[in-house]
Amino acid sequence: MPNDRRVLPEPPVRQHVVTALGVDEQQDAFEPVRPTAAPAGAPNVVLVVLDDLGFGSSSAFGGPCRMPTADRLAADGLRYTRFHVTALCSPTRQSLMTGRNHHSVGMGATTEMATSAPGYTGFRPRSAATLARTLQGNGYSTAAFGKWHQTPPVEISPVGPFDRWPTGEGFDHFYGFMACEMNHWYPLLYQGTTPVEPTRRPEDGYHLSEDLVDRAVDWVHTQRTMTPDRPFFTYLAFGASHAPLHVTPEWRERYRGEFDDGWDRLREKTLARQKALGVVPGFTELSPWPDGVPHWDDLDDDRRRLGARFMETFAGFTEHADAQLGRFVAELEELGELDNTLFLYLLGDNGASGEGGIEGTHVEHRLGHGLVDDPADMIGHLEEIGGPASYPIAPVGWALAMNTPYQWTKQVASHLGGTRDGLVVHWPRGIADGGGLRHQFHHVIDVLPTILDCAGIAAPTSVDGVAQQPIEGTSMRYTFADPQAPDRRRTQYFEMCGNRGIYHEGWTAVTRHGTPWEMVPTRRGAFREDVWELYDTTVDPSQARDVAAEHPEMLERLRDLFLVEAATYQVLPLDDRVTERENPQLAGRLDLVGDRTSVTYRGATRRLIEETTPNVKNRSHAVVADIEAPGSGGQGVLVAQGGRFGGWALYVLGGRACYVYNYFGMRRYTVRAEHPLGPGRHEVRMDFAYAYDEAGGGVGRGGVATLRVDGREVGAVRIDATIPYYFSFDETFDVGVDLGTAVCDDYPAGDNAFTGRVHTVRVDLTAATPEHDEEGLRRRVLACH
């Protein structure tokens, strides 16, 4: 029976009334104040999430990525073959942590795509307390490691507020990153709410996946030493296998040659393995191949070589993460805790990502802005893929193969390729059917009630004084002992970026509104004009045969049911924008800078994400640094935003003031003063005159950057094009240093702090008129020298 601790935190125990003057006269002994105790026999809980994996990726579900830890846990536990997620990162994680549908808790898309619409704000309501907060309030020690991606970006700053950070949402300890992705060689991390950077670099053998597991192991050891009577909850969310695909060559080389026969053949081999494992029915067909995506035989030799290398890197990255998890499992076993640990291993938070486009890319952010890398150029950098000089993501053909046998990819909530992932549940003391398969239909919102059910904890009705909205998930524990138990989840809606679907008692009605690898602003047509498909998954589990024409009444019924569910769970109004929503002004969400046209930062400012700084994109602006130069003129960064794969920096090289604009790592535009700075106080200023279109707007246009020292123009450079929507998801705005990767090669990553003093840096959002004709710019540059 669950305990009746429905109000959290638990009210304090009332002590005896004090009637004595002194302790020598006190008759009744006092009880020591004790922390809330967990229910007797409550298991430890470990929840592990891999990113962008896809149902057909892991060996545990028939895929090509060898994952011995997943295989081991599945052999002793259960594999859920009809487990579903949302089609993007943040929504799945918010549902995982709250037990509610993602729109119900304001996470209709990722945090970077939030708007002001109720289902899309990115702000978790206090009426939906997290799993961590509930377990914490019931006597668990709690810790999170790795990717978070649930805090509104406007709150990710040194001033918070911090109540929607992990340590404000029920975790005693946090070590990881807040964004959707992270450079695994040069990560920018947080411990609690304090920014930290690793003390080692890739040349020292550093890798983020290894670091996360090291920290998780250390925390569990400490927890068991200090409070062995308390169960623990560990949330371990790897950055793998989300872009960037970062792994050392030896892991990539484990797969050399294994993908040379291409993605079409891989789909066939994967489906055969899936049937042999029993994770899909023996009559399952491969789903249709989408129009516009080439088959492997359509590619020339260079594109095949390039494609194979991308997949080798993805597989190596994935196996490496699973191997690190294996170290964590081994530590639990050594501590004697594994048998009484409810271990849930979610092999993907959405389907594999098709955001690498047709060719794949050496730098992910280019494709997000509609720029396609030339395969001939990428072949010249083949050995760099996966290393620190790359930020890669694989072609969509591999994503489709990783989602075998289902259609489509991440972002596409309508089809199973975007929403079905493998789940392994391991709990020797609670599951007798080791190696069993479970085919009941379940959804990520079912994880929270399952954990509470296994721990003997009632869902709270009030947390921190706030009445709780109903949990929308259903416990999966009923399936642990009964593989034939009838489904308890009969209906589930899906929606992401306008792609939508509805499941009801074996039928699915779906409509794909957009194509995931077409992320740049495009008109996708009216929602009312979308064509719906119908599938009977009891006889067609992969959605291979559309039967809408044969069953128009069923299709109409399900379309109406979707509207009912959408109205119930705050799905409406639908929003199909993708990249545009990653710019707060275009999305219409809260902007920390607001109406200010000038912001001044002090010299110690560090680690500001783009959402918390003035938006210098698509407009004229100025950056003004008030500095104190040493006798040599100094060396190092005055201010930088972004990094190796896109951004800008104002810095000093050999005593000379410089400015660089990095266009997606493809081109760098640099202007340098001819003469060094003298010792003492100086103003170093860069004015950027944006080349507005005839209407006074336009995105991604070029302009002229003019460098001035103490009011005197010392150089200018024309910039042909600029980054319109975002510089980076993982790099930051830093004063006096460039953290993470370096914007340019004039200074190193890491050791690049200015050797003088930066008093202030001011960013002005101005309205200068561009002077960008070639001859005028040439005359101005010559005049500066």
Taking residues 388-417, report their average pLDDT: 97
**φ and ψ of 272, to 5 deg:** -60, -40
User: Which pairing describes strands 78-80 and 436-438: parallel, antiparallel, or unpaired?
Assistant: parallel
Q: Do residue 110 and residue 226 come from a single domain? A: yes
Let me know if residue 410 belongs to a domain: yes
Confidence of residue 778 (pLDDT cuts 50, 70, 90): low
- Look at strands 173-177 and 141-147 and give their pairing: parallel
Please answer whether residues 54 and 352 qualify as being in contact, where contact means their C-beta atoms are separated by less than 8 angstroms: yes
- Cα 610 from Cα 404, distance rounded (Å): 36
pLDDT of residue 784: 40
At position 241, the amino acid (one-letter code) is: S
Over range 238-256, report the average pLDDT. 98
In this structure, what CATH number is given to the domain that contains residue 636? 2.60.120.200
Task: Please state, as a whole number, how many other Cβ atoms lie within 10 Å of the Cβ of residue 547.
Answer: 16
Cα distance between residue 645 and residue 715, in whole Å? 24
Residue 759 has pLDDT above 60, yes or no: yes
Q: How far apart are CA 342 and CA 428, in angstroms?
A: 8
Q: Where are the beta strands (DSSP E) in 352-406?
A: none
CA-CA distance, 478 to 422, in Å (whole number)?
19
Structure tokens at 465: 């004084």
* Dihedral angle, C-alpha 137, 138, 142, 144, nearest 10 °: -70
**Domain identity same for 488 and 601:** no
Based on the domain organization, do 497 and 608 belong to the same domain?
A: no
**Smallest Cα–Cα separation from 231: which of 417, 452, 7?**
452
pLDDT at 29: 81
Work out the angle between the directed axes of helices 301-334 and 68-76 (0-180°, nearest 10): 50
CA 491 – CA 408 distance, rounded (Å):
21
> Closest by alpha carbon to 482, among 426, 428, 438, 430?
438
- Which pair of structure tokens corresponds to residue 189? 């991390």
- Range from 27-31, 200-204, 329-333, 650-654 carrying the lowest mean pLDDT: 27-31
Burial class (CB in 10 A: 0-12, 13-18, 19+), 248: middle
Contact assessment for residue 576 and residue 513, using Cβ atoms and an 8 Å cutoff: yes
Rounded Cα distance between 737 and 606, Å, is: 8
Respond yes or no on whether the N-terminal peptide bond of residue 241 is cis (omega within 30° of 0): yes
Collapse the DSSP code of 403 into the 3-class scheme (helix H, G, I; strand E, B; otherwise coil) and give the result. coil
Do 291 and 402 have their domain in common?
yes
Under the banding of pLDDT at 50, 70 and 90, the label for residue 406 is very high
370 falls in which pLDDT band (50, 70, 90)?
Answer: confident
In one-letter notation, the amino acid at residue 36 is T
Token reading at 712: 């005197």
How far, rounded to the nearest angstrom, does the alpha carbon of residue 553 sit from its chain's CA centroid? 40
Pairing, β 141-147 against β 232-237: parallel
Give a three-class secondary structure readout of 573-591: CCCCCCHHHHCHHHHCCCC
Q: Assess whether 632 and 737 both reside in one domain.
A: yes
What is the structure's pLDDT at 523?
63
**Phi then psi dihedrals of residue 638, to 5 deg:** -90, -45
Bridge partners of residue 625, in order along the sequence? 684, 761
Does some domain include residue 195? yes
Report which residue type is found at 382. Answer: L
pLDDT at site 783: 44
Residue labelled with tokens 């810790």:
143
pLDDT score recorded for residue 368: 84
Structure tokens at 243: 């872009």
For the beta carbon of residue 757, count every other beta carbon within 10 angstroms: 14
The 10s digit of each residue's pLDDT in 510-557 is 999 999 988 665 667 899 999 999 999 999 999 999 999 999 999 999
Inform me whether the pLDDT recorded for 259 exceeds 90. Answer: yes
Q: In the chain, pLDDT over 90 holds for what percent of residues?
A: 88
CB atoms < 10 A from the CB of 546, how many? 16
Residue at token pair 């809260």: 590
What confidence tier does 780 reach under pLDDT thresholds 50, 70, 90? low
Rg of the chain over all Cα atoms, to the nearest angstrom: 27
Please tell me whether residue 419 adopts helix, strand or coil conformation: helix
- Tell me phi and psi for residue 642, to 5 degrees: 90, -155
Dist. CA 700–CA 697, nearest whole Å:
10
Burial class (CB in 10 A: 0-12, 13-18, 19+), 381: middle
What is the structure's pLDDT at 781?
A: 47
Residues with Cβ < 8 Å from 523, sequence gap 6 or more?
A: none
In a domain, 585, yes or no: no
Do strands 462-463 and 7-8 pair parallel, antiparallel, or not at all (unpaired)? parallel
CA–CA separation, 355 and 607 (whole Å)? 27
Please report, as a single letter, which amino acid is at residue 281. P
The H or E element spanning position 503 is: strand 499-504
Q: Which of 487, 503, 519 is the last residue of a domain?
A: 503
| C-alpha dist (Å) from residue 155 to 165, 361, 671 | 9, 31, 35
What local confidence, expressed as pLDDT, does residue 17 receive? 76
Which residue carries 């594994």 as its tokens?
A: 338
Burial of 51 (0-12, 13-18, 19+ CB in 10 A): buried
d(CA 244, CA 365): 10
For the record, the structure tokens of 224 come out as 């068991």
Lowest mean pLDDT among 460-464, 480-484, 504-508, 517-521: 517-521
The Cα–Cα gap between 637 and 623 comes to 13
pLDDT at residue 517 in the model: 87
From the list 401, 413, 397, the residue with the least C-alpha distance to 274 is 401
pLDDT band at 785 (very low <50, low <70, confident <90, very high): very low
d(CA 659, CA 685): 9
Q: Report the candidate in 709, 727, 486 with the shortest Cα–Cα distance to residue 610.
A: 727
Q: What is the DSSP string of 8-38?
A: ESPPPPPPPPP--SSGGG--SPPPPP-PPPP
Please report whether residue 557 resides in a domain: no
Sheet holding 646-653, edge to edge: 667-672, 656-663, 646-653, 636-643, 733-735
Residue 494, pLDDT above cutoff 60: yes
- Are the C-beta atoms of residues 154 and 590 closer than 8 Å to each other? yes
Do 645 and 768 lie in one domain? The reply is yes
User: Within a domain: residue 8?
Assistant: no
Residues 478 and 613 in one domain: no
Structure tokens at 730: 């993982």
Q: Could you identify the residue written with the tokens 């955001």?
A: 355
Give the residue from 485, 503, 521 where a domain finishes. 503
- Token readout for 339 is 């048998």
d(CA 64, CA 242): 17
CATH number at residue 482: 3.40.720.10
> Does one domain contain both 195 and 333?
yes
Pick the range with the lowest mean pLDDT from 141-145, 175-179, 239-243, 577-581: 577-581
Phi, then psi, of 399 in degrees rounded to 5: -60, -45
- For the chain, helix (H) and strand (E) counts, in that order, are 15, 30
Domain count, the chain: 2
Residue 772 pLDDT grade (very low, low, confident, very high; cuts 50, 70, 90): very low
State residue 295 phi and psi, 5-degree precision: -80, 160
Tell whether the torsion through CA atoms of 172, 175, 179 and 181 is positive or negative: negative
- Report d(CA 159, CA 137) in Å as an integer: 26
Residues 486 and 611 grouped into a single domain: no
Looking at the structure, tell me whether residues 497 and 598 fall in a common domain: no
Flag whether 515 is in a domain: no
Determine the Cα angle at 735 with ends 748 and 615, to 5°. 110
Domain hosting 655: range is 591-783
Over residues 378-407, the mean pLDDT reads: 97
Q: Which residue has the higher pLDDT, 776 or 318?
A: 318
> Residue 29 falls within a domain, yes or no?
no
Residue 442 has pLDDT above 80, yes or no: yes
Q: Is 252 within 8 Å of 316 (Cβ atoms)?
A: yes
Residues 494 and 596 in one domain: no
Q: At which residue do the structure tokens 């006074």 appear? A: 696
> Three-class SS of residue 605?
coil
Q: Tell me if 511 is assigned to some domain.
A: no
Model confidence at 782, pLDDT cuts 50, 70, 90, reads very low
Compute the distance between CA of residue 73 and CA of residue 233 in angstroms, rounded to an integer.
Answer: 18
Q: Which residues of 356-380 are buried (b: 16+ CB within 10 A; e: fewer)?
A: bbbbbbbbbbbbbbbbebebeebee
